[in-house]
Amino acid sequence: MSELKVKTMEAFMAEGKQPEILFWVGSAGSFDDRAKKISRAFVKLLNKANVDFAVLGTEESCTGDVAKRAGNEFLFQMQAMMNIEVLNGYEIKRIVTCDPHSFNTIKNEYPELGGNYEILHHTQYLKELMDAGRLQIEGETFKGKRITFHDPCYLGRANSVFEAPRQALEKTNATLVEMKRHKRTALCCGAGGAQMFKEPEKGDMDINVMRTQDALETNPDIIATGCPYCNTMMTDGIKAHEKEDKVTVLDVAELLANS
């Protein structure tokens, strides 16, 4: 079923060409079953828009972001510098990623270590493609559906990207509804700061269940996310609320790819 066209940087190099953009898939996008679907949806859109893009493939490695948030600065910088060596070796200028954590660390923490690139979150890049007329969305599938967007902390609060995902979602012709806490005051999904990889501390509720409650209060058909980790947390939250029959959790790329 592989109808996706994905070329590695190595192949571009062999042809002596440079891609328009490098797609940083990230560890979740490469290995997590749910997130792989997001990677595939995003590539489907890139193919549709005839974007000449590359991936690093087996030369890509964890950005080190999660190690840094866990407190392991050594491991982070090892990972960062190895990645920077690969990226600089290929003279990469422009990167796009579906993961706000990769987006944040490459944008803010790689430059001091010698990695200077223009990096975009996939919602920003998709908006750019649609604005340029390169990507057309029919906007039929989700017409009239209620969609609420959950701001990823590392895209929104951390880097003040609030509008791109919303503007991209508008193209689906769905009705966008905002949660009470959104944009700067959006509640975390509970996965950040390496929480994704550990059990939560003792408390009286899980954060993702609380955040899903916020979303359910908007009475949505779909919860839109822009982060593979948020996606997992919100999906689990929906299950905790036993609403999986009524509400689906989809990435902005998946929504556009199926519009």
Partner 1 sequence: MTYLPNVLFAVVLIAAIGYFAKNVGRLRRNINLGKDVDVSDNRKERWQNMVRIALGQSKMVVRPVAGLLHIIVYVGFIIINIEVLEIIIDGLLGTHRVFAPLGAAYDFLIGSFEILAFLVIVSVVAFWIRRNVIKLRRFLKPEMKGWPKKDGNLILYIELVLMLLFLTMNAADYQLQQLGAEHYTKAGAFPVSQFMAQLMEGMSISSLVILERAAWWLHIVGILFFLNYLYFSKHLHILLAFPNTFYGRVTPKGKFKNLEAVTAEVKLMLDPNADPFAAPAEDAAEPDKFGASDVRDLNWVQLLNAYTCTECGRCTDECPANQTGKKLSPRKIMMDTRDRLEEVGKNMDQDKGEFKDDGKQLLDDYITREELWACTTCNACVEACPVSIDPLSIIMDMRQYLVMEQSAAPTELNNMMSNIENNGAPWPYNQMDRLNWVNE
Closest approach of partner 1 to the CB of residue 148, in Å: 18
194 binds partner 1 (CB under 8 A): yes
Options 131-139, 165-173, 182-190, 236-244: segment touching partner 1 (CB under 8 A):
182-190
Among 12, 34, 193, 218, binds partner 1 (CB under 8 A): 193
Contacts of partner 1 in 87-106 (CB under 8 A): 104-105
Closest approach of partner 1 to the CB of residue 146, in Å: 24
CA distance 74 to 69: 12
Options 70-78, 115-123, 169-177, 244-252: segment touching partner 1 (CB under 8 A):
70-78
Among 21, 46, 55, 119, binds partner 1 (CB under 8 A): 55
Grouping H, G, I as helix, E, B as strand and the rest as coil, residue 169 is: helix
11 binds partner 1 (CB under 8 A): no
Given a contact cutoff of 8 angstroms between Cβ atoms, the answer to whether 196 and 229 are in contact is yes
* DSSP character at residue 123: H
Among 19, 49, 64, 117, binds partner 1 (CB under 8 A): 64
31 binds partner 1 (CB under 8 A): yes
Among 134, 180, 184, 246, binds partner 1 (CB under 8 A): 184
| Residue 95 CB-half CA count within 13 A | 30
Beta strand extents in 150-253 (DSSP E only): 175-176, 222-225, 248-251
CA distance 177 to 227: 19
Nearer to partner 1, 4 or 131 (CB): 4
Q: Give the CA-trace dihedral at 75, 80, 85, 91, to 10 degrees.
A: 170
**At which residue do the structure tokens 């493609």 appear?**
129
Among 13, 177, 210, 240, binds partner 1 (CB under 8 A): 210
Closest approach of partner 1 to the CB of residue 109, in Å: 6
Query: Residue 157 is encoded by which pair of tokens?
Result: 């609060």
Q: For the chain, give the number of residues.
A: 259
Among 20, 143, 178, 200, binds partner 1 (CB under 8 A): 200
Given a contact cutoff of 8 angstroms between Cβ atoms, the answer to whether 178 and 156 are in contact is no
18 binds partner 1 (CB under 8 A): no
